[in-house]
A and B are shown apart, each in its own frame.
Chain A
């Protein structure tokens, strides 16, 4: 149980275009999903917290107009990188909390999406 998927697993796009990444909880309802970014040999940096049916909460320094997050249902959150630039190239990972665990703070991660902007 507690499986999270991401699509696509990797994507290459041209500078100036937009890319959408999907995060799905496959066997549980996730009222909260998180989006992280990870650069090579660095740890995960929290970008935003996404609650179902409400606006995402962005971490300081993350441009909300550039990284659009939509959490339209209890099993799906999307991250859209708008007008992508080479410096946006990174590994994007989502995670979700499983509320079946009675308020415990375990979170389950997707496999990640490798974005390369040329």
Chain B
């Protein structure tokens, strides 16, 4: 079965810096890879989706890359702000199902 790993449980960075989060998966490459933000006690909020034939996707201060050779996605937040502090989850689809990584807790320090 597909295994999804996000490289660290927690990441602390200084405000204004770029945060980079990693998502690695095993087995076959999914057609889509998604990133979500989750705040404590809340459901995840969709951020970005990238397709297998796309190398990079951007949305405002967010950038996602997808390397099917490395079986890895990188999620970048540029000019980070304390409000970006949250847990970020990557998710892959297998047919009609979606499986989530363990999440990375990001704290942006003012």
Please indicate the chain B residues that have their CB under 8 angstroms from the CB of A112 in the complex: 41-43
* A108 contacts partner chain B, Cβ-Cβ < 8 Å: yes
Prevailing SS type, chain A contact patch: strand
How many B residues touch the partner, as a band? 20 to 34
Please indicate the chain A residues that have their CB under 8 angstroms from the CB of B42 in the complex: 111-112
Residue of A at shortest CB range from B105?
Answer: A41
Task: Decide if A105 touches B98 in the complex (CB within 8 Å).
Answer: yes
Stretch at the interface among B14-22, B44-52, B67-75: B44-52
Please indicate the chain B residues that have their CB under 8 angstroms from the CB of A45 in the complex: 100
- Given A104-B49, A108-B46, A112-B41, also A46-B102 (CB < 8 A): no
Chain A residues with a Cβ under 8 A of chain B: 4, 6, 32, 34, 36, 42-46, 49, 59, 91, 93, 95, 104-112, 114
